[in-house]
Amino acid sequence: MALILTNEDVEQILTMKDCINVVEEAFIDLGRGLGVNIPRTDVLIPSPRSGGLTYYPKIMAGATQRSRVFAVRINSDLWADDTERMVRVSIESEAQNKFCALVLLYSIDTCELLAICHSGFIQRMRVGATGGIGAKYLARKDATTVGLIGSSWQAGAQLLALHEAMNITHVKVYSPNRERRTSFAEEMSKVLGVQVQPVDTARECVKNVDIVDLATSAREPVIDGKWLEEGVHVHCIQPMELDNGTFLRSNVVVSNVRPFGSAGEYPYIQVFNMGEVSRERQNIPGTPHLSVNWNNTPSLSELILGQVEGRTADNQITLHLNNVGVGIQFAAVGAKVYELAKEKGVGKEIPREWLLQTVQG
């Protein structure tokens, strides 16, 4: 029997500790040749509907021998042109604010579909876990304080992961909306059991902290590299949050994965544009504003395996760039979710015969 697992199902069984463990193992397996990652593929297809809509699916896939699953993550999105850049819109349904994004898990032993999962909570946790792993290997060992830019759902996952991976005792948080950052600070203080303090500016947020974490949806830099103090570790959940000064000041720079081909405009993503959506309006994370040679930027796998040097001095500035999602993350986390769901009796079953056929192809 295959399972259908909702975000609510996943949230009740998946812990950040489990997520960090399996994601770290996945990067180790990838570095040892025991995992495979298919580069993210973005497709832009003009919608026949009015309003400048674009159908914008995004696909990631990967597998590891350890997980024994092949995972495919598909975001099936509609994006609207707001004259500056594309913005995601909800699908038409009886209930508003609905989105379609799924993770499919296949057994590499039997070839059968094991599960269909909502991707939202898995997405949140795997991004958070990856940031926590980067801090574990790049932040100073005595790091205890965090400056967090952002107060979104993803920002919360960053704090959960840092609290799990490091000995965090104090957090400052900034986002432009005062009410939102205040409520976020109150909520996360209760969740973590440490003080989370809202502050009024981004500059104040990154002052006198050991770790700077950027967790926003911004398409422009949210900090100035000149603000960074010696010894700090910086992490971002997407590259457009960073300014070039942060790169230039960083002594050690690590990204999730190396480019899959030549480091051109999209060094980590395969893009197929059927329509006439200009580069400026696409929502594809790019790095034209950063003077970085991506082919010379080591991967998180190489760092974990000790194949490249990480931090070698307490006064160094280190940077971990969550440059792109990686299919093996979904394989690792998805396999753990499936294991826990079977163990705890969570999810809805799909009859096996509905998913198998008597002909090939």
H or E element that contains 188: helix 178-192
Rounded distance between C-alpha atoms, residue 134 and residue 252, angstroms? 12
Q: What is the pLDDT of residue 129?
A: 98
Confidence class of residue 85 from pLDDT cuts 50, 70 and 90?
low
pLDDT (tens digit per residue) in 262-320:
545 567 788 887 766 655 555 555 555 666 777 889 999 999 999 999 999 999 999 99
The confidence band for 159, taking pLDDT boundaries of 50, 70 and 90, is very high
The 8-class DSSP code of residue 299 comes to B
Residue 238 structure tokens: 């997407």
Say if residues 318 and 91 touch (Cβ distance below 8 Å). Answer: no
3-state secondary structure of 172: strand
In this prediction, residue 82 has a pLDDT band, given cuts at 50, 70 and 90, of low
- Averaged pLDDT of the chain: 90
Backbone angles phi, psi at 125, to 5 degrees: -70, -40
> Helix 120-138 to helix 16-31 angle, to the nearest 10 degrees?
70
What is the pLDDT, as a whole number, of residue 260?
Answer: 74
278 or 211, greater pLDDT: 211
Q: What is the pLDDT of residues 311-361, one digit of tens each?
A: 999 999 999 999 889 999 999 999 999 999 999 999 999 999 999 898 987
Provide the percentage of residues in the chain whose pLDDT is more than 70.
Answer: 88
Mean pLDDT for the stretch of residues 232-254 = 94
Q: Return all residues near 294 (Cβ < 8 A) that are at least 6 apart.
A: 255, 258, 259, 263, 267, 268, 287, 323
* Nearest partner of 148 among 136, 164, 160, 138, judged by Cα: 160
Count of other CB atoms within 10 angstroms of residue 351: 9
For residue range 89-131, list pLDDT tens digits in order. Answer: 666 654 567 889 999 999 999 999 999 999 999 999 999 999 9
List, in order of start, the domains of the chain with CATH numbers: 2-122+327-353 (3.30.1780.10), 130-268+284-321 (3.40.50.720)
- Tokens 């030549």 sit at which residue? 262
**DSSP code, position 66:** T
Per-position DSSP letters for 156-183, written without gaps between them: HHHHHHHHHHS---EEEEE-S-HHHHHH
Structure tokens at 89: 């819109």
Predicted confidence at residue 273, as pLDDT, reads 79
Q: How far apart are CA 122 and CA 131, in angstroms?
A: 14
Q: What would the pLDDT profile of 27-62 be if each residue is shown by its tens digit?
A: 999 999 999 999 899 898 887 765 667 888 999 999
